[in-house]
Amino acid sequence: MSTPPIIEFDRVNKVYQSGGGPVTALLDVSLSIATGEFIALIGPSGCGKSTLMRLIGDLEQPSSGTVRVKGKTPAQARLDRDYGIVFQAPVLYEWRTVRRNVELPLEIMGRPPAERRERAMSLLRMVGLGDFGDAYPYQLSGGMQQRAAIARALSFEPSILLMDEPFGALDEITRERMQTELLSLWSNATPRPTVIFVTHSIPEAVFLADRVVVMSPRPGRVQRIVLIDLPRPRVFETRESPRFFTLVTEVREALRATENERVGA
Amino acid sequence: MSAPVQATTVARQAGQAAQKGFRLHDLWPPVLTFALVIGLWELAVWFFQIPLYLLPAPSQILETFLARPVFLLRIGLVTFINAVIGCAIGVSLGCLAAALCVRWRVVADGLVPLAVAASAVPIIALSPLMGIWLGSVSPLSKIAVVAVMTFFPTLVSVYRGLVSPTADALMLMRSYAAPQRAVFARLRAPAALPFLFGALRVCATLSMIGAVVAEFFGGPQNALGVYIKTQAGILRTREAWSAILVACLFGLAFYLAVVLAERAAMPWKRGR
Ligand SMILES: Nc1ncnc2c1ncn2[C@@H]1O[C@H](COP(=O)(O)OP(=O)(O)O)[C@@H](O)[C@H]1O
Ligand SMILES: [Mg+2]
């Protein structure tokens, strides 16, 4: 890769102290992610995907090893507002209208009201919620709420987008539509943000990503990295191409290898 | 995406929800039950020929009230004002204490279990002591009783509300590098609003009861509790009951005011 890495993991371990003794969530993870790259993190649940994402976002601290973000500590990057975060649940604040939810980060960052409003409305139009600015979250379907959450994460133009199973709670049809929408948002943004996208859907990972990082559980490790060379823009037909099937199979086998290893161990 | 179609659907739903918010038809079951109870009471008094000094019929109580409505409402107002002032003080201090509990967990560890316990204690038993400290005739002693009564449930409830935001909701704030002030003002406080109103509903009822009962232990002649106690003492049961009716009216008015304020303050709850 020609571009310098925006995120670097150097032999990172993460051990949680829990009631039942220490839990090694990440073991010896080294990983480097290029600026503007779309990375999918995949693995069975409990293999440390969320932990890895939280280490990048300074929502957890590594037990050993270092994480660097744009050459800084994650803490500094957070203070510089380098991260937009989207969780599996939309986490909209129910007392705010959809538009004011999207404005929330801008409000905290002290941007002027007129600018906030304009930015929020333009984002809502972009995610197809232009008519819903004054609605309250409960009036929206799950997919629409998640669109609003994505708009909120993009509102302050963060250079890194952290997404933890953002479409995990959606039905398959909505999910595929949102994947296409996300890619178009991502490729139209200038500069294009770096995306870390956690999922446990293999087709989703392959459809979205430049590289799929396959993780193995207990303890969480990077098992393999699968390069996805599907052309962009990716469209409906991409999912039907032979290359897509080949890559899906490749990721699936990498995942199965982690299972076998565990059974054999 | 069929956004315009969805938009009109949501708008219509919102409209229906707003209408549904008034819920006039929801009033019927309690009103009917109330009418039934009053009717049975009336019948029972006549049928069993219950003596007037034991239990007057609703019609007799109403009659007594209508004979001197201005007088009764005026003494009711004296007590009601104590209730409102006491409630305002208790609830404000309760909110303040809850905020301090969130800011310093040590305070919470000490105060919250105490408040939970205190919520179960009949604070009204403090009335004679308040009389000693603040003067048994003075309204201050009644206000103090009500303030103490409403302080603890408010503290417990609002504290629960302030710590109700989920880990994700808090992490979001952290990712914006939001200062503590912003986390409080834009997340914790609004999240606690439904809890505050829950406490207020309880406190509205509690404070009218507290103010009346506190006056049983002494108070100015022109107060509701004193009037009820004196009239009951000389077996003028009808008069006592007409004053109880006034206490109910003020209590109900206070409660309804809270419900209306709640609806105005939380538009996002209306449609549900
Ligand atoms: N705050 C925590 N305290 C203790 N253990 C945790 C905590 N968060 C995660 N873990 C443990 O770390 C492991 C990885 O968790 P996580 O990163 O959430 O996995 P994933 O997102 O892949 O499902 C799991 O075994 C989980 O139980
Ligand atoms: Mg997870």
**Within this chain, do residues B191 and B211 fall inside the same structural domain, yes or no?**
yes
Where residue B244 sits, what CATH number does that domain have? 1.10.3720.10
**Within this chain, do residues B61 and B20 fall inside the same structural domain, yes or no?**
no
**Within this chain, do residues B4 and B121 fall inside the same structural domain, yes or no?**
no
* pLDDT above 50 (res B18): no
- pLDDT of B129-186, one tens digit each? 888 899 888 899 999 999 999 999 999 999 999 999 999 999 999 999 999 999 999 9
In chain A, which residues have their Cβ closer than 8 Å to the Cβ of B193?
95
Q: Using the beta-carbon criterion (under 8 Å), do A78 and B175 form an inter-chain contact?
A: yes
Task: Write down the pLDDT at residue B126.
Answer: 83
Task: Write down the pLDDT at residue B44.
Answer: 93
- Report the amino acid identity of residue A210: D
**Within this chain, do residues B144 and B40 fall inside the same structural domain, yes or no?**
no
Element (H, E) at A32: strand A21-34
- pLDDT of A129-187, one tens digit each? 999 999 999 999 999 999 999 999 999 999 999 999 999 988 999 899 999 999 999 99
**Within this chain, do residues B4 and B106 fall inside the same structural domain, yes or no?**
no
Q: What CA–CA distances, in Å, run from A68 to A11, A48, A112, A190, A211?
A: 12, 18, 32, 23, 19
Nearest CA to ligand 1 atom 16: A48
Q: Residue range B203-226: average pLDDT?
A: 92
**Is the pLDDT higher at A259 or at A243?**
A243
d(CA B246, CA A199): 63
DSSP conformation class of A72: B
- Give me the CATH code for the A34-61+71-82+158-265 domain, please: 3.40.50.300
* pLDDT above 50 (res A256): yes
Q: Which runs of consecutive H residues, i.e. helices, occur in chain B?
A: 3-22, 28-47, 58-67, 69-103, 105-119, 127-134, 139-162, 167-175, 180-183, 189-216, 224-233, 237-265
**Within this chain, do residues B141 and B181 fall inside the same structural domain, yes or no?**
yes
**Is the pLDDT higher at A3 or at A263?**
A3
Look over chain A and give the mean of its residue pLDDT values, rounded to a whole number. Answer: 93
Task: Write down the pLDDT at residue B3.
Answer: 42
**Within this chain, do residues B45 and B168 fall inside the same structural domain, yes or no?**
no
**Is the pLDDT higher at A25 or at B119?**
A25
User: Beta-carbon neighbour count of residue A159 at 10 Å?
Assistant: 20
Q: Quote the minimal CA–CA distance from A156 to chain B in Å.
A: 10
Q: Using the beta-carbon criterion (under 8 Å), do B172 and A91 form an inter-chain contact?
A: yes
Where residue B124 falls among pLDDT bands split at 50, 70, 90?
Answer: confident
Tell me which residue in A85, A107, A156 faces B172 most closely, judged by beta carbons: A85
d(CA A158, CA A194): 9
Task: Write down the pLDDT at residue A29.
Answer: 95
With beta carbons less than 8 A apart as the criterion, state whether A197 and A40 touch: yes
Q: Is A64 exposed, middle or buried (0-12, 13-18, 19+ CB in 10 A)?
A: exposed
Question: Is residue B180 within 8 angstroms of chain A, CB to CB?
Answer: no
Confirm or reject: Cβ of A221 under 6 Å from ligand 1.
no
Structural domains of chain B, count: 2
- pLDDT of B42-99, one tens digit each? 999 999 999 988 999 999 999 999 999 999 999 999 999 999 999 999 999 999 999 9
Interface test with A, best of B16, B262, B268 (most A CBs within 10 A): B268
**Range of weakest confidence among A11-15, A214-218, A256-260, B129-133:** A256-260
* pLDDT above 50 (res B17): no
Look over chain B and give the mean of its residue pLDDT values, rounded to a whole number. Answer: 88
Q: Using the beta-carbon criterion (under 8 Å), do A79 and B177 form an inter-chain contact?
A: yes
Distance B266 CA to ligand 1 centre (A): 36
Nearest CA to ligand 1 atom 5: A16
pTM for this entry: 0.86
Question: Could you tell me which chain A residue has the CA closest to the CA of B171?
Answer: A59
Interface test with B, best of A56, A91, A138, A164 (most B CBs within 10 A): A91
**Within this chain, do residues B45 and B61 fall inside the same structural domain, yes or no?**
no
Question: Is residue B10 within 8 angstroms of chain A, CB to CB?
Answer: yes
Q: What is the DSSP string of A180-237?
A: HHHHHHHHHSSSPPEEEEEES-HHHHHHH-SEEEEEETTTBEEEEEEE----SS--GG
Nearest CA to ligand 1 atom 11: A25
**Within this chain, do residues B45 and B141 fall inside the same structural domain, yes or no?**
no
**Is the pLDDT higher at A120 or at B127?**
A120
Give domain limits for chain A.
34-61+71-82+158-265, 92-157
Nearest CA to ligand 1 atom 26: A46
* pLDDT above 90 (res A56): yes
Q: Using the beta-carbon criterion (under 8 Å), do B168 and A94 form an inter-chain contact?
A: no
Where residue A2 falls among pLDDT bands split at 50, 70, 90?
Answer: low
Where residue B10 falls among pLDDT bands split at 50, 70, 90?
Answer: very low
- pLDDT of B22-46, one tens digit each? 566 777 888 899 999 999 999 999 9
- pLDDT of A88-142, one tens digit each? 999 999 999 999 999 999 999 999 999 999 999 999 998 999 999 999 999 999 9
- pLDDT of B177-210, one tens digit each? 999 999 999 999 999 999 999 999 999 999 999 9
Angle between the A142-154 and A172-188 helix axes, to the nearest 10 degrees?
A: 20
Which ligand is closest in space to the CA of residue A168?
2
Confirm or reject: Cβ of A23 under 6 Å from ligand 1.
yes
d(CA A150, CA B267): 24
Question: Is residue B186 within 8 angstroms of chain A, CB to CB?
Answer: yes
d(CA A159, CA A194): 6
Nearest CA to ligand 1 atom 21: A50
**Within this chain, do residues B150 and B111 fall inside the same structural domain, yes or no?**
yes
Owning domain of residue B220: 56-269
Tell me which residue in B168, B182, B267 faces A87 most closely, judged by beta carbons: B168
